Amino acid sequence: MPLYNYRGRREASGEVVRGVREAGSHAELGQVLLQEGVLLTRYELQRKKTASSVFFSSLTSHVPVLERVLFARYFALMLRAGLDVKQALGALAEQTKGKPMKVAINGVLQKVDRGSTLADSMASFPNAFPELFVGFIRVGETTGRLQESLEILSEQLQKEYDLRRAVKGALLYPAVIISALVAVMFAMLVFVVPKLADVFEGFDVDLPLATRVLLGIGSFFEVYWWLALILLAALVAGVWFSWKLKSVRGAMLRIFTITPVLGSIIQQVNLARFTRNLSSLLRSGVSYVEALGILGENTPHIGFAAVFQSAQDHVKQGKLLSEHLVKYRRLFPPLVVNVIKVGEETGALDEVLEEIAVFYESEVDQVMRNLTSILEPILMVGIGLAVGALAISVISPIYNLVNVI
């Protein structure tokens, strides 16, 4: 059925209501809303999404991990305080500042009002509530321990947020330095180098090769700077779209994984994420097999995701997860496999996984700190070489000019 964006007014209180609703026609939409005590005042049929609209929608509908952390934490707090699910969702919708998250919460509230379960309602908004999130909620509803599931979920999401922040924090410094260097080089090629070209043209002197190359690049940027910007934007867009292709992303991740330093970081980050997520799912009451399926659908690294998906069938046959992971030594070191085996044999797998997660999270944090310290002198040397090459290209012909004069 088509989707309608609608706006109405509650007959009892006069409150303005907005939302998205499926209906066979606008007349059916009006009848359904009227049964709920809402008078339809305006509606708009949603158009089918084109490729460009999907692209921009992915940019505008992104929900940060921190917003999910706060949602789960405050939701659990409100349930502990005695509010029911609808009251808690209404309060969360009012206090949420991010528009994509606010729209998702309002949509969930509307579906719950119509009789859907909380988990099924959240599953309709995957950008805000991924399958891992929905899995915790579904178990909480089924077992009657929704508050406890939300508390476990908020703790898991907080660890995920801390892990991402550690990685991004380490990469922020080199990214800023490199961006500033590129901006300065672009400004010099557009504004400074063409002025030097005018000076050198007035003298009959042979210019060094490096200077001729620099002047040629400067002349190109002076005339076609707009083309350079377009090519740069096209390159960024091409990389972004290529990364969205599963085959390309899988090939690049395989290359990154075998890279000496980067491969170790990627392995540790994914091991920390895997052990933390699986431990949290098991603690909340998700079955072993279902937890592996959820991890297979929600793990960003394609290699790890494929292992979890195949492990689901392996565990279904009554076999141990550690027996399956031992086949993938490049992704799962023997230490991790052996510890998981002990946890499976003793029946304390969730506790063992949590200890592994704490270990790798601290390792990632320390590695990121060290990486920043290592990259700083490397960047300084690189900047020095770039500035030195530029200075030599400019100064060497000036000495020749002095000899000519």
Look at the pTM and tell me if it is higher than 0.85. no
pLDDT (tens digit, 9 = 90+) per residue, 5-43? 777 777 777 677 777 776 777 777 777 778 777 888 777
Token pair of 377, please?
């002198």
* Superfamily for the 156-405 domain: Type II secretion system (T2SS), domain F (1.20.81.30)
Question: How is residue 6 written in tokens?
Answer: 């609608």
- For 144, list phi and psi in degrees, rounded to 5: 75, 20
CATH number, span 65-155 = 1.20.81.30
Amino acid at 11: E
Strand partners, 40: 8
C-beta separation of 125 from 104 below 8 A: yes
What does the pLDDT read at residue 202? 65
Taking Cα atoms as reference points, which of 359, 345, 347, 342 lies closest to residue 271? Answer: 359
Nearest of 295, 301, 232 to residue 262 by alpha carbon:
301
Res 150 pLDDT > 80: yes
Six-digit token pair at 74? 């405050």
Token digits for 53?
A: 């609209």
Among residues 127, 341, 123, 231, the alpha carbon closest in space to that of 136 is found at: 123
Fold match flag (65-155 vs 156-405): yes
pLDDT, tens digit (0-9, with 9 covering 90-100), for 184-204? 887 877 777 777 777 777 666
Any idea where the domains of the chain sit in the sequence? 3-48, 65-155, 156-405
| pLDDT score of 58 | 47
- Torsion sign (Cα): 86, 90, 96, 100: positive
